[in-house]
Chains A and B, each alone.
Chain A
Amino acid sequence: MKKLLPAANAIIAVIAGGLVLLGTFFPTLFGDLRQYLLQWAIILAALALWLGVLNLLSVHWKKVRQKETGAGYSAVLVFFLLGTIAVVVLDIFLWSGGPVGTWSQWVFNNLQKPVEISLLALLAVVLAYAAARLLSRRNNTFSIVFLASAVTVMLLMAPVYFLKTPSILDPLRQAISGVLAVAGARGLLLGVALGTVAAALRVLMGTERPYGG
């Protein structure tokens, strides 16, 4: 049994992935089967997300009950998690607004959005600090090229309003953001894609088993 279950898991992964790949490359023959398998995967992923939320809830509820360190924060998390679920569910089934109904939007606009934008705003301070530290800690050619490229792109993307950007700098902006950065980004994207293909092939051949086995 101990050896049988991992082997069965690998077979499930290989067959399911293989059929989805066949459906992608031979849509007339296996397209419907691919759709069916994808629909089940989407349903499973949604159920897994619910399991994750239930796990989050149980971990923090346990902290609250056992009065562990940070139990107050956990109580706040549990309150807002259940409160949000209650509001959106009421919006869906009672007030017929769905997840974009008035009260769901109120929760999103006044609780989630301010924190999201503020965290992004915080990034401005953190990134400036990181850039200053980079210059003081690793003052080499690549750090200087990196920061020079960042400053040039920023200045030319949104020029200081009382300083007229000289038109002679336009080709420089075009050279950085249209040629040099595109070349590097393309190399990085291709590298990521080739890495994804290699990892996916390892899973589909059963040599990599991240599902346990």
Chain B
Amino acid sequence: MNPETITALADPIGLVVGFLLTIMVLSYILGDNPLFRLAVYIFIGVASGYAAVLAFYNVIYFQVIRPLLENPAGNLALAVPVLILFLWLLTKASPRLARLGNPLLAYLVGVGAAVALSGAVMGTILPQVGATVNPFDLSLAAQTQSQSGQAPGLVRYILGPLFILLGTVVTLAYFHFGVRPKGEGLPPQRPPLVENVIVPLGQIFIAITFGALFGGVYAAALSALVNRVGFLWEVILRFVPIG
């Protein structure tokens, strides 16, 4: 069989494979069954194989093997430690030797914690606090208004930012579970203002936010369902002469 024939056959075979896998996954609507489980095992096999090769190609091949092939003498200092690290990491596969691999994990966790910390501060806390506070900067608001050419509005420039500030604060306060002792024999409690006003208000903001997120996810899932039903119909039309 020549390569052109193989390529020409690959497309319809791929369609049939995709069709069968879609049916197998959607069969879960009727309840857990062997077809669904088979599709999930296939998915785990393919996804982990693909991820493994991508990690090898994008990291180990490009950062270690290729430099070594291009300049063996110059890059031996990089390749040898990588080989040692891999062998060292293999100790994690054995229950008896697993403890010896902990220093490598400690290194990964330390670097990961530092990256997470700087990412949280510079990527979330500072931008989010800035976005909450900036609307109250009148000079910035006037500048934005002159650029956009829109007239100042009560909702846009005053009520909106105020609600966002209030919602952010009460949502954050909802997750504060600190309590104060109320006296001998009495259970410790949150302050009444927090318990009776801030917490219920925070819950309402959280309910609205999760509702909006749920709506977004549901719309995405629904469009995926429409896509799959359309795909199944297209495959049927292609292989089964109807009408």
Q: Contacts A17-B114, A48-B89, A189-B124; is A116 near B43 (CB within 8 Å)?
A: yes
CB-CB contacts below 8 Å: B35-53 with A: 37-53
- A49 vs B55: C-alpha distance in the bound complex, in angstroms? 8
Query: Which chain B residues in 191-220 approach chain A with CB under 8 Å?
Result: 202-220
- A121, B225: Cβ atoms closer than 8 Å: yes
Contact call A152/B102, Cβ cutoff below 8 A? no
State whether the Cβ of B118 lies closer than 8 Å to any Cβ in chain A: yes
Q: In the bound complex, do residue A204 and residue B85 qualify as a contact, i.e. CB atoms below 8 Å apart?
A: no
What's the dominant secondary structure at chain A's contact region? helix
Complex contact A188–B224 (CB within 8 A): no
Q: B25 near A119 (CB under 8 angstroms)?
A: yes
Which one of B85, B107, B225 lies within 8 Å of A13 (CB-CB)? B107
Contact partner of B205 (CB less than 8 A), chosen from A5, A110, A180, A189, is A180
Q: Name which residue of chain B comes closest to A82, CB basis.
A: B49
Does residue A169 face the partner (Cβ distance < 8 Å to B)?
A: no
Within the assembled complex, what's the spacing in Å between the Cα atoms of A118 and B169?
39
Task: Select the stretch in B128-136, B142-150, B180-188 that faces chain A.
Answer: B128-136
**Does more than half of chain B's interface fall in helix, strand or loop, or is it mixed?**
helix
Within 8 A of B (CB), among A63-84: 73-74, 76-84
Whether, in the assembled complex, B54 has its beta carbon less than 8 Å from a beta carbon of chain A, the answer is yes
Q: Which residues of A contact B44 (CB under 8 A)?
A: 56, 77, 81
Q: A183-B166, A187-B170, A191-B175 are in contact. Are A81 and B109 (CB under 8 A)?
A: no
List, in ascending order, chain B residues with CB within 8 A of A17's CB: 109-111, 113-114
Chain A residue at minimum C-beta to C-beta distance from B16: A110
Tell me how many residues of B have a C-beta within 8 Å of chain A: 117
> Looking at the complex, which one of A51, A114, A190, A213 makes contact with B106 (CB distance below 8 Å)?
A213
Q: Is the beta-carbon distance between A200 and B104 smaller than 8 angstroms?
A: no
Query: Which chain A residues lie closer than 8 Å to B75 at the CB level?
Result: none
Contact of A200 with B113 in the complex, beta carbons under 8 Å:
yes
Select from chain A the residue with minimum beta-carbon distance to B78.
A43
CB atoms of B171 and A112 under 8 A apart: no
Closest A residue by C-beta to B60: A46
> Chain B residue with minimal CB distance to A92?
B57
In the complex, chain B residues whose CB is within 8 Å of the CB of A8: 103
Residues of B within 8 A of A132 (CB): none
A108 to chain B: which residues have CB within 8 Å?
A: 50
Tell me the bound Cα distance from A147 to B13 in angstroms: 43
Quick one: which of A58, A123, A153, A197 contacts B215, CB cutoff 8 A? A153
Known: A50-B52, A73-B41, A80-B45. A200 touches B116 (CB 8 A): yes
**Chain B residues whose CB sits within 8 angstroms of the CB of A122 once the complex forms:** 25-26, 28-29, 221
B interface list, Cβ under 8 A from A: 7, 10, 13-15, 17-19, 21-22, 25-26, 28-29, 37-61, 63-64, 82, 85-86, 89-90, 92-93, 98-99, 102-122, 124-125, 128-129, 131-132, 155, 160, 163-172, 174-175, 202-222, 224-225, 227-228, 231
* A-B complex: 4 closest residue pairs judged by Cβ atoms: A183-B167, A187-B171, A149-B211, A184-B209
A-B contact pairs, 26 of them (CB 8 A): A10-B106, A13-B106, A24-B122, A44-B85, A85-B52, A99-B54, A106-B10, A114-B231, A118-B22, A120-B220, A128-B218, A131-B214, A145-B207, A145-B211, A146-B208, A149-B215, A154-B215, A178-B160, A180-B205, A180-B208, A183-B171, A187-B171, A187-B172, A190-B125, A200-B114, A211-B102
